[in-house]
Amino acid sequence: MKDFSILEKKLGLKFKNKDLLKQSFTHRSYLNENPDFNLNHNERLEFLGDAVIELIVTEQLYKEYPEKTEGDLTNWRAALVNAKMLTSVAEELGFNDFLLLSRGENKELGKARAYILANTFEAFLGALYLDSGYKLCDEFIKKHLFKNLAGIIQEGSYKDAKSKFQEEAQERDSITPSYKVIKESGPDHEKQFIVGVYLDKELIAEGQGSSKREAEEAAAQLALEVKKWGK
């Protein structure tokens, strides 16, 4: 079994309920191979942590940038809380070494592992919130996640494909793109979505992903290429 006290020491945290910490790293696949394990998987904690992260980031942006529009703040928040960023922070913090996975999932690297890491980061924040409350989560997010905002602004990477496509569509055609799930497949823990992006009623492109947000981003990226916009 993993020694989570090493992670606590590394992060400068001390969980009162150690099971909450352990559960936040428990992937559904681990329970399939370890049916006698005394804890549930981390998906409910992930659901809670997602909301905690979004609220903290939103509050911080609102306070620190009073002169910025809702649109700017929304784009910055999206860049801070997207799966790619959460994966990067989770890797920096050494979360990889503490994941409780099935043998099959343990061998998976690349996109599949990145997705698990992003979800685990959210679950960890959910566990931290339940164990220690909002203030500690706020300090943790500011220290480990919010510090990336300066680089995001400087590089302009906050303008994701959805934002770019919307800007172009409104400027060129005075239309706001809409997104619709065309197909949904796979079990709950391995969902795949195909999403279409439309201008008015015209389907411009389709994108696939393991979440609706990811599929929408893929659809917008392809739509930019189809329309030859944003070059």
Mean pLDDT by 10 residues, the chain (231 residues): 93 96 95 92 97 96 93 86 92 96 81 89 98 97 94 75 87 93 88 94 94 91 88 53
pLDDT for 54 = 95
- Which tokens go with 133? 């409350």
Euclidean distance between CA atoms 99 and 120, whole angstroms? 8
Contact 204, 195 (CB under 8 A): no
Is the dihedral angle over the CA atoms 157, 201, 170, 57 positive or is it negative?
negative
**Tokens 């509050």 — which residue?**
59
DSSP 216: H
As annotated, the residues of the chain forming the CATH 3.30.160.20 domain(s) are 161-227
Which has the closest alpha carbon to 207: 167, 217, 161, 199?
217
Nearest in space to 230 (alpha carbons), one of 159, 153, 152: 159
Q: Is the dihedral of CA 25, 28, 29, 31 positive or negative?
A: positive
| Percent of residues in the chain assigned helix, strand, coil, to nearest 5 | 65, 10, 25
Is pTM beyond 0.85? Reply is no
AA identity, residue 67: E
> CB burial class (10 A; 0-12, 13-18, 19+) of residue 178?
exposed
For the chain, counts of helices (H) and of strands (E)? 12, 3
**CA-to-CA distance for 231 and 5, rounded, in angstroms?**
49
Q: What is the pLDDT of residue 230?
A: 61
User: What is the amino acid identity at position 47?
Assistant: F
CATH class of domain segment(s) 4-155:
mainly alpha
Question: Where in the chain are all domains bearing CATH 1.10.1520.10?
Answer: 4-155
- Residue type at 214 in one-letter notation: E
SS3 86: helix
For the chain, state the CA radius of gyration.
19
* pLDDT computed for residue 118 by the predictor: 94
Distance from C-alpha of 102 to C-alpha of 143, rounded to nearest angstrom: 31
Task: Give the domain 161-227 fold.
Answer: Double Stranded RNA Binding Domain (3.30.160)
Residue 20 tokens, joined = 């909450």
Task: State the catalytic residues.
Answer: 50, 122
191: left (phi over 0), alpha (psi -120 to 50) or beta: beta
Contact between 123 and 115 (Cβ < 8 Å): no
